[in-house]
Amino acid sequence: MRKILHIDMDAFFASVEQMDHPHLRGKPIIVGGKVNQRGVVATCSYEARAFGVRSAMPTSKAIRLCPKAIIVPPNFERYRELSLQIREIFHRYTPLVEPMSIDEAYLDVTENSKNQTSATIIAREIQEAIYKEVGLTCSVGVSFNKFLAKIASGQRKPAGITVIDQESFPEFIKTLPDEKFFGVGQATAKKLHQKKYRKNSYLIEGWHLFEEAIQAGATIETIFALIEHGEKLGTHPQTVFVAEEILLDLADSQTPQGIVAIVQKEEDQLPDLSQGKYLFLEDVQDPGNVGTMIRTADAAGFSGVIVSSKSADIYSLKTLRSMQGSHFHLPIYRMPVETFVEEAKQTNLPILATTLSQNSKDYRELARLEDFALVMGNEGQGISPFMADQADQLVHISMKGQAESLNVAIAAGILMFYLS
């Protein structure tokens, strides 16, 4: 079980100003821009917060709420100086420090340089060290993931410590308002339904794909899950617990099984086509077909799969569901048809392209090959004339009945297992 601290300095900028300028102590101060310059509140003291002043509020509105507030221009050089002192204190306990801004950070103290088993004791020691050495207070949340630790740090401000352990978190979560669960990365996650936003990461849903990602060592950026799965996800500090309606909105299926995650893409280098068995998909449009063929290539022990630039996106949720995690098991490449043919020709990799013509052979008549690329064409048009012309051998599956053709994924399965 991980032990995560979220340490949040209390009204950091304002507290620094009150510490450095004693005449400001106990008074409502606003750190930010001036009213006549259309300034905004960077932060404010607790005395000003009592009047309803909040960060990012226009200074003009803040003054209306608190007419006696004193506006102080920010001194970022001073804030950075003290922030570095505070981080040095963090590093006395663990190298696993993740600064979130100038005044807050996550610390993983599961294993720490003090050999202290109690995260709460560490939290208290850090609080005392910051107050003694820097002169400022902080609030600390202690839990088994980052999401809960961050919520906890805001519960007893200023200078408080709140612990949410596995026993207490189900009841604790019930006391939180709904807004605590909204807007935590969901906008980014929702965008990943669209291909144009899937440049560096993609969504997966369901426990099977999540477990496949973990086993493959994939980088999981954020996990969205129902609170009932909190114990199972205790070792994953990137978990965000959301309401069921939010999860349904993020997922593509009607039954997302209580979990959706953002996974970082790992782009494979272009393959060495000098040896191996490859499946090439030429402009296959249906995500279900693409995913099924990749899964079958995995099962048949192929070296990799290459999809043409105009084939369905392998990172769409429908394709991912069809692959069932096979993209974690074998490399998948994307390249134009012409590039694939050029690479295959340069490495003398035989191209076997599926089509029914006078020049094609029944697959059972083929000589056994150790290295080759099997090409499956578009669902409606089959392989392109260019591919038919460039292939070393055209291949077909003879029909015993009256059906004109097979589904491309079914045909690919027959051929891959025969040829492997």
CA-based Rg of the chain, rounded to a whole angstrom? 29
CATH topology of domain 14-74: MutS, DNA mismatch repair protein, domain I (3.40.1170)
Residue range 186-264, CATH number: 3.30.1330.30
End-to-end distance of the chain based on CA atoms, in angstroms? 44
pLDDT value of position 90: 98
As a CATH number, domain 277-419 is: 3.40.1280.10
Tens of pLDDT, residue by residue over 340-371, are 999 999 999 999 999 988 789 999 999 889 99
Two structure tokens written together for 296 = 């079958």
Among candidate residues 17, 104, 212, 343, the one labeled active-site is 104
Q: Which CATH class is domain 4-10+77-178?
A: alpha beta
Q: How far apart are alpha carbons 335 and 282 in whole angstroms? A: 10
Residue ranges of the domains in the chain?
4-10+77-178, 14-74, 186-264, 277-419
Name the token pair of 102.
């100038």
The whole-number pLDDT of residue 173 equals 67
Residue 24 has pLDDT above 80, yes or no: yes
Query: Once rounded to an integer, what is the mean pLDDT over residues 45-63?
Result: 91
Orientation angle between helical segments 76-91 and 12-20, nearest 10 degrees: 110
**Structure pTM?**
0.61
> Are 191 and 241 contacting, i.e. CB atoms less than 8 angstroms apart?
no
> Tens of pLDDT along 265-274?
886 677 788 8
CA 92 to mean position of chain CA atoms: 30
Cis amide linkage into residue 158, ω under 30° from 0: yes
Whether 104 is catalytic: yes
- The first and second tokens of residue 163, run together, are 């612990």
Please tell me the distance from the alpha carbon of residue 259 to that of residue 382, in angstroms, as a whole number: 38
> Which residues are paired to 382 by β-bridges?
378
Contact 122, 109 (CB under 8 A): yes
At 70, give phi and psi (nearest 5°).
-105, 125
Distances in Å between the Cα of 95 and the Cα atoms of 42, 91, 98, 142, 167 are 30, 5, 9, 17, 28
3-state helix, strand, coil split of the chain in percent (to 5) is 40, 20, 40
Residue bearing tokens 């051929």? 415
Beta-bridge partners for 200: none
Query: 184 pLDDT band (50/70/90 cuts)?
Result: very low
